[in-house]
C-alpha cells in the first residue's frame, strides 16, 4: 500500500501492518466513492485513482495461487458475490480452481423477500462457487454475532505457531 494510515487501533491498520490485502468491490456505490469523485474533480491533474478491475484480477489470482480458501462474509450483496465469483473468474481466464472449501455468512437477511441477495450458501454451491460441506449461515445482527465468533476464533487458534502469510507479495508482478 502506498498510502499512510494515521488512525489508532483499527482493522484497516492491523491489515496494513500484517500485509493483508483489502478489497472493496462496491467502493463506487458508497459515500467513499462520491468523495473520490469529488477529489478527482477538484484535482484534475494529480489525484488518487482506484482500478476496480485490478481488485478483481488480484483477488482472482489470490484464489489461483491459494486453492484452499474459505469465506467469512458479514452481510451480503456485492462484497459477498465478489468474493464467491473469483472461482468463476479464475475459470473464465483459463485456471481450474476448486470451490471455496469453507464459508460462513453473517446476515439478518432472509431469501423469502429477495433479501440476502436472494442467495444462500447452498445456492452458491449450485453455481460451483462454494463447497457446502463446511458452510454455515448465521442469521443474526452482525454487531452481536461477529464479536462472539471473533472471540471464539481468537481463543481457540494457535496463533503463535501459525505460519504468517504475505499475500500482498502475490501482487508485485
Which residues are designated catalytic?
129
- As given in the structure block, the three cell numbers for residue 142 are 452482525
Q: Are 22 and 15 in contact (CB under 8 A)?
A: yes
Strands 100-107 and 130-139: parallel
100 close to 133: Cβ distance less than 8 angstroms: no
Closest CA to 167 of 59, 86, 90: 59
Distances (CA, A) of 27 to 24, 52, 55, 139: 6, 8, 11, 25
Cell output for 64: 489461483
Under a CB-based contact definition with an 8 Å cutoff, are residues 35 and 42 in contact?
Answer: no
**CA dihedral for 163, 167, 172, 173, sign (positive or negative):** positive
Amino acid at each position: 500500500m502506498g498510502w499512510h494510515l494515521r488512525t489508532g487501533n483499527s482493522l484497516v491498520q492491523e491489515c496494513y501492518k500484517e500485509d493483508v490485502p483489502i478489497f472493496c468491490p462496491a467502493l463506487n456505490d458508497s459515500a467513499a466513492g462520491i468523495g473520490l469523485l469529488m477529489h478527482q474533480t477538484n484535482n484534475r491533474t494529480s489525484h488518487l485513482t482506484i482500478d476496480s478491475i485490478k481488485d478483481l484480477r488480484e483477488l482472482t489470482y489470490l484464489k489461483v495461487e491459494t486453492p484452499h480458501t474459505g469465506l467469512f462474509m458479514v452481510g451480503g450483496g456485492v462484497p459477498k458475490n465478489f468474493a464467491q465469483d473469483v472461482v468463476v473468474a479464475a475459470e473464465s481466464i483459463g485456471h481450474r480452481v476448486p470451490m471455496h472449501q469453507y464459508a460462513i455468512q453473517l446476515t439478518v437477511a432472509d431469501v423469502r423477500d429477495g433479501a440476502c441477495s436472494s442467495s444462500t450458501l447452498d445456492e452458491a454451491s449450485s453455481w460451483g462457487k462454494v463447497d457446502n460441506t463446511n458452510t454455515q449461515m448465521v442469521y443474526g445482527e452482525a454487531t452481536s454475532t461477529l464479536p462472539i465468533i471473533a472471540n471464539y476464533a481468537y481463543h481457540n487458534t494457535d496463533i503463535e505457531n501459525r505460519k504468517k502469510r504475505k499475500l500482498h507479495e502475490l501482487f508485485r508482478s
